[in-house]
Amino acid sequence: MADGGGDGAMPDPTVRNLLEQESLKWVFVGGKGGVGKTTCSSILSILLASARQSVLVISTDPAHNLSDAFQQRFTKFPTLVRGFNNLYAMEIDPKVENDDFANEGMEGFLSELTNAIPGVDEAMSFAEMLKLVQTMDYSVVVFDTAPTGHTLRLLQFPATLEKGLEKMMALKNKFGGLLNQATRLFGLGDELNEDAMLGRLEGMKDVIEQVNRQFKDPDLTTFVCVCIPEFLSLYETERLVQELAKFEIDAHNIIINQVLFDEEAVESKLLKARIKMQQKYIDQFHMLYDDFNITKLPLLPEEVCGVQALQNFSRHFLTPYKAALKRGTVEEVEQRVSLLKSALQEAESELDRLRKGKQVA
């Protein structure tokens, strides 16, 4: 679990623990849709690139926002991110692609199999991707995952492939050599041979089981939960943390994104209400996850797009954000008076213009 930095001390509210854990090989970033997972996974990969020899960030979200975050086109093959010499990115679709298979016969059979066992297509695609990643020697791999439901399915892939193998074995036992005879009769060759297909699934299962063992090792793998300070996001994070515990996957970092800080000198009832609501959920996060490293990120007036913007925003991952203005200080009251005077002058100028316009009419 997270290092609290001493007895009774609160865990460090940053992601420095991830950068300092040199044994880390797999970092998953996940959470509810629309909370900023891609921005967070992009920044984590940038920070890791400054501490590790080589980093690969992979998007398994069909929406593929990684290209938008870095403002660079990525494909299903690792591509060097512009401005770096050790950071690579790739985007994969969590479904079986047609060119993954030897011929139409094999594809057709596997299509039938995927229909019979929900999720086996994603499992096989994930296995293919892991095979590719394992042939490359990256120091650490960051996964920008799809929304929570898809991520939980990804963790169930070994069990899904197990079902696929059981179904294959049942078909083999039921029909004996009938399938082999049919393939030879129609001249389809050995690609659709039952043993070849069984071997294919077995190979994928071996890869996934090997990686799954690594996923359950807290020295090698961790899961970073990204959320926003609202009820549904809190609920989704709680569900995710419980599921991760069930799958024995380590999680000790939570990033709370889009936090409003009370630093605007202008008084706003709406802003005050939102800040109060957010604070209620932030307090609940701290109560539920008192042994987690909880990092709060500010809501910005603009999007975080492009390498420069990502690097600028990354400082909030390493140093807790502090509001620029503190309520009740001389400086804050002076700024508020100055803004009110400025607003009064603008209102008086507008009133003069309206009066002059009315006189002309």
Q: Is 29 annotated as a binding residue?
A: no
Q: Is 38 annotated as a binding residue?
A: yes
Q: Is 39 annotated as a binding residue?
A: yes
Q: Is 3 a catalytic residue?
A: no
Distance CA 71, CA 59 (A): 14
Q: Is 296 annotated as a binding residue?
A: no
Distance CA 313, CA 40 (A): 10
Closest to 198 in 3D by CA, of 166, 160, 154 = 166
Q: Is 34 annotated as a binding residue?
A: yes
Closest to 155 in 3D by CA, of 243, 265, 236, 283 = 243
Residue type, 346: E
Q: Is 203 annotated as a binding residue?
A: no
Query: What are the Cα distances from residue 131, in Å, to 141, 165, 207, 211?
Result: 13, 19, 7, 10
Sign of the alpha-carbon torsion through 302, 306, 308, 312 = positive
230-245: b or e for each residue (b if 16 or more CB lie within 10 Å)? beebbebbbebbebbe
Closest to 211 in 3D by CA, of 132, 114, 152 = 132
Q: Is 163 annotated as a binding residue?
A: no
From the candidates 12, 61, 121, 250, give the one annotated as an active-site residue: 61
Distance CA 277, CA 259 (A): 11
Q: Is 257 annotated as a binding residue?
A: yes
Cβ neighbours of 161 (radius 10 Å)? 25
Which residue positions form the known binding site for ATP? 32-39, 230, 257
Q: Which residues are catalytic?
A: 61
Binding residues: 32-39, 230, 257
